[in-house]
Amino acid sequence: MSAPNKSYDPVEVEALKPERIDAARDDALAAFAAAESLDALREAKIAHTGDRSPLALANREIGALPPHAKADAGRRVGQARGAVGKALAARQAELEAERDERVLVEEAVDVTLPYGRRPAGARHPLTTLSERVEDIFVAMGYEVAEGPEAEADWFNFDALNIGPDHPTRTTHDTFFIADGGDPGREGRTPGDEAGLVLRTHTSPVQIRTMLTRRPPLYVICPGRVYRTDELDATHTPVFNQVELLAVDEGLTMADLKGTLDHMVQELFGSGLTTRLRPNYFPFTEPSAEMDMVCFRCRGASVGDPDHPCRTCSSEGWIELGGCGVVNPRVLVACGIDPDRYSGFAFGFGLERLLMFRHNIVDMRDMIEGDVRFTRPFGMEI
Ligand code: DAH
């Protein structure tokens, strides 16, 4: 057995040579100084202080040294590691301070900049209400149909059985755009579109639908209409109507009634009913005026002077619009066989509906475009 190597000199271990340790320390200090970012410093830290760094490897060699050599080597390696640790911490602090300064500059908020002075707009309640009505009918399988606002007088009147001398023609105070010549001419057809008006109702969309498509037809037609009324609290020359048309085999007034009941309940709550009062429209036969039970007093204000209802003027009913069974003459004008098909139609004004639904007393509020009016309606869906 050989004696322990008493003459073992730590200087002879390659990793522990003073110049190697100094070089490892200097490399580490240079790498830290060269690191321009915290990420780069992290890499340098791993390379120079990690388990596989030269100084860590040197430190591991100390354990194998004879006792008398350990102290000297330990001191040398310890001093080098201490210097490296200090340099690392100093560079780390420096880079962090730089980063903090940069963040302060880059992410600064200039509180003296002017704010967005344009107030945010709001959806108009008429748009919201129209979409709501459309949704009710789309859910029942109806489609949304549209037509032009500048409409041929044949579509607006003639095809709807409103002849040139028909009294109804004069009640629709019409904006004329182009004169179509003699409207009394026998056998006028949709081709005679020279006479142009701003449509006075949405009913011409019924005609356009029936001329271009075959039954079964279930359409809802919302849109803008025009009449030569002066603007005041209860009239406006431009307003919105919603038209309903169903044409199918075997449709009756009972289907119309059920459909209207459903619409009213979807809009105002369950349990509300409608009633039909006889009326006259050239394009429906029979025709009716549709009323709904007052959604506020539910009829309780009738004959009760102590509890008047502003919404229905204590009538118990609110008038909603006109309706009826499509006149066979209209079906014929659109090339639909009235012996096979029948239909029902309904038309009402959206502004009026919005007014009594929300207690709006002046129509002008609805068209002035003031967001202070529209905003409180929020985003009703
Ligand atoms: N178009 C009519 C008007 O503006 C309203 C109307 C009444 C539409 C009866 C209809 C209906 O579809 O069947 O006065």
Per residue in 95-113, pLDDT (tens digit) is: 999 999 999 989 988 888 8
DSSP state of 3: P
Per-residue confidence (pLDDT) for residue 190, from 0 to 100? 57
Instruction: Determine whether 245 is exposed, middle or buried from the number of CB atoms within 10 Å of its CB (0-12, 13-18, 19+).
Output: buried
Mutation test of ligand 1: which of 323, 325, 326, 329 has the most ligand atoms closer than 8 Å to its C-beta? 323
For atom 7 of ligand 1, the residue with the nearest CA is: 322
Q: How far is the C-alpha of 345 from the C-alpha of 321, rounded, in Å?
A: 11
- Summary mean pLDDT of the chain: 89
Amino acid 316: pLDDT = 95
Distance 152 CA to ligand 1 centre (A): 18
Cα–Cα distance between 24 and 19 in angstroms, integer? 9
pLDDT: which is higher, 8 or 229: 229
Q: Rounded to an integer, what distance in angstroms lies between the CA atom of residue 202 and that of residue 242?
A: 7
Please state the atom number of ligand 1 nearest to the C-alpha of residue 225: 4
Whether the upstream peptide bond of residue 4 has omega within 30° of 0, thus cis, is no
> Which of 160, 162, 201 to probe ligand 1 with, by most ligand atoms within 8 A of CB?
201
**pLDDT attached to residue 191:** 55
pLDDT of residue 3: 47
What's the pTM value of the predicted model, to 2 decimals? 0.68
323 lines ligand 1 (CB under 6 A): yes
Q: Is the beta carbon of 345 within 6 A of some atom in ligand 1?
A: yes
Residue closest by Cα to atom 12 of ligand 1 = 346
Ligand 1, atom 3, residue with closest C-alpha = 201
Closest CA to 164 of 187, 139, 148: 187
CB distance 324 to ligand 1 below 6 Å: yes
Residue 351: pLDDT band with limits 50, 70, 90:
very high
**Banded model confidence at residue 121, pLDDT cuts 50, 70, 90:** confident
- Does residue 317 line the site of ligand 1, with CB under 6 A? no
Closest residue by CA, ligand 1 atom 13: 323
Q: pLDDT grade, residue 142 (50/70/90)?
A: very high
Confidence of residue 233 (pLDDT cuts 50, 70, 90): very high
Ligand 1, residues 142, 281, 348: which to mutate, most atoms within 8 A of Cβ?
Answer: 281
Which residue CA neighbors atom 8 of ligand 1 most closely?
Answer: 347
Ligand 1 atom showing the smallest separation from residue 348 Cα = 5
Residue whose CA is at the smallest distance from ligand 1 atom 4: 201
Mean pLDDT of the 68-85 span: 89
Confidence of residue 70 (pLDDT cuts 50, 70, 90): confident
Q: Of 280, 272, 296, nearest to 358 (Cα)?
A: 296
For 304, residues 6+ apart whose C-beta sits below 8 A from its C-beta are: 314
Least confident of 227-241, 294-308, 309-323, 364-378: 364-378
Q: 342 is written with which tokens?
A: 């029948």
Residues 6 or more apart in contact with residue 187 via CB below 8 angstroms: none
Per-residue pLDDT, 63: 83
Which residues face 287 on adjacent strands?
279, 324
Dist. CA 27–CA 53, nearest whole Å? 11
The more confidently predicted of residues 104 and 181 is: 104
Average pLDDT for 173-185: 74
Q: Rounded to the nearest whole angstrom, what is the distance from the C-alpha of residue 307 to the centroid of ligand 1?
A: 34
Kindly state the average pLDDT of the residues 322-345.
Answer: 97
The answer to whether 283 touches 205, Cβ cutoff 8 Å, is no
Residue owning tokens 């409608």: 274
Phi-psi bin for 255: left (phi > 0), alpha (psi -120 to 50), beta?
alpha
- What value does the mean pLDDT take over residues 155-177? 86
Atom number in ligand 1 closest to CA 245: 12
Residue 288, ligand 1, Cβ within 6 A: no
Question: Measured from the CB, is residue 346 less than 6 Å from ligand 1?
Answer: yes
Q: Exposure of 294 by Cβ count < 10 A (0-12 exposed, 13-18 middle, 19+ buried)?
A: buried
Listed in sequence order, the DSSP H helices in the chain are 18-34, 38-49, 54-62, 67-106, 125-138, 153-156, 167-171, 204-212, 253-268, 328-333, 350-358, 364-367, 371-374
Mean pLDDT of 29-53: 93
Alpha-carbon span 366 to 190, nearest angstrom? 35
